[in-house]
A and B are shown apart, each in its own frame.
Chain A
């Protein structure tokens, strides 16, 4: 048999690390030296899969609680095999996990687990996003009121918005608190929640906001002027209080600048 090139060897080795059923492709290149080549390769498989699974467990603790550790481990393994990291920058690994989970969604306590995973990923992104100054109430106070309707706001680079058909914030909190299944069932009966994630300083803030408030932020984030964004928010909820919403975002650091 001809000696495989380094490239061929590495393709076979990587395949055998991710999937034990493919270990036969590389076994012949490994010196058994008193131990089956497959067993030697399995040491690397364990290291690789355990390290990446551990990473997902640390990034998605609430998701893991909702699914249960064993179920989570199984899904994590399937995710790692179908989409291993595409670069040696592990802060970026896990972006596709919530989407992958949607494929496993079902009724009952797991109905909104994909949304909880999206919330956890949003927190991860906010944690590592670029730092930026925040726009405070004082800066707005200097702008003449007649300019407000055409004012545009740039969202802070750490802002992430989560839409959910379920009580995603309450589920996330309950899962982190480690509540047993019974209180979780109660949590599931709550109304749908939307979540704003932002890191104005060094601490990630996660808070539920109304659907109209989220529409406002999305519209501003898309570059619409304030008057137009407010119209959209009021269409979502006629009782939407623009002034109060803006004040809370200015106090909470949701904007980087306006102009």
Chain B
């Protein structure tokens, strides 16, 4: 059992079974001045540091001196019909060369159309055409970046009538076709499963565990539209109890990975975020103890 739980992405090993937090501007000074015990790594949105100079890059240097880094991109638009922008790939590569992040990830989504960047993560129809386009784009990106890339499963609020396969199969096939890793966002599985009525257990089964390099956890909101409850992936609250349970099931199925708490809107004081991190760390530690016991027996 434990043998199959190897951390396939060698880079994930550097972060081991540690839980990290998304780095947000209001917490930066505190994290530089007083590194909290137990926090080994932080994740940043790569695009936030695509500037020529100034305090942001200086802060990232100081952060890098204290923590391992993960770069999580939001703007590559791997789901666009067009190949990824070489200029944007070059910007990512420059930052990655300078800051040597342990992990590098992007999204299975699109945000660029005809040269316009719309700053959101739009859904993709799950068709053979889209599969080959996204797999091509991921492969192009990995070549240009000279590093393995993980792609994150999406959250979404609509499906396309032309889709011919379930989302989990699409995600698994991209990893296979492009030879990339998967960043498994546990909250996204729950949000999409709720919004589109699929089974989370089937989803967890379909994802090839060997290529999962990281987990994401975040809060979501519930709203009602036309009398129908819709979950919105707003990253503006604590991780929901049902998502913690799904995280437990994910750990039981696929084993531990570096795990991130994302909180992007309505950002709380740092201790609240660190409490969430500690909860995730407790679950990663428990799995490690279970594995140790299984090995001893």
Contact = CB atoms under 8 A, between A and B. Distances in A.
A128 B161 contact: no
A37 interface: yes
Contacts of A39: 225-226
Interface string B109-131: 01111111111101011010110
B114 A31 contact: no
Nearest to B234: A47
Contacts of A179: none
Interface residues of B, number: 53
B160 A9 contact: yes
B158 interface: yes
A247 to B, nearest CB: 26
Nearest to A91: B51
Interface string A1-26: 00111110111011001100000000
A31 B161 contact: yes
A199 B53 CA distance: 10
Interface residues of A, number: 47
B50, B54, B161, B230: residue with the most chain A Cβ atoms closer than 10 Å: B54
A88 to B, nearest CB: 2
Contacts of A91: 48, 50-51
B52 A48 contact: no
Interface stretch (A79-87, A143-151, A209-217, A227-235): A79-87
B54 A87 contact: no
B129 A5 contact: yes
Nearest to A89: B50
B119 A85 contact: yes
B47 interface: yes
B251 to A, nearest CB: 30
B91 A43 contact: no
A131 interface: yes
Nearest to B162: A3
A10 B120 contact: no
Interface of A: 3-7, 9-11, 13-14, 17-18, 28-31, 33-37, 39-41, 43-44, 47-48, 51-52, 55, 84-91, 127-132, 199, 202
10 contacts: A6-B124, A10-B110, A28-B161, A29-B160, A33-B196, A40-B157, A43-B225, A88-B117, A91-B48, A91-B50
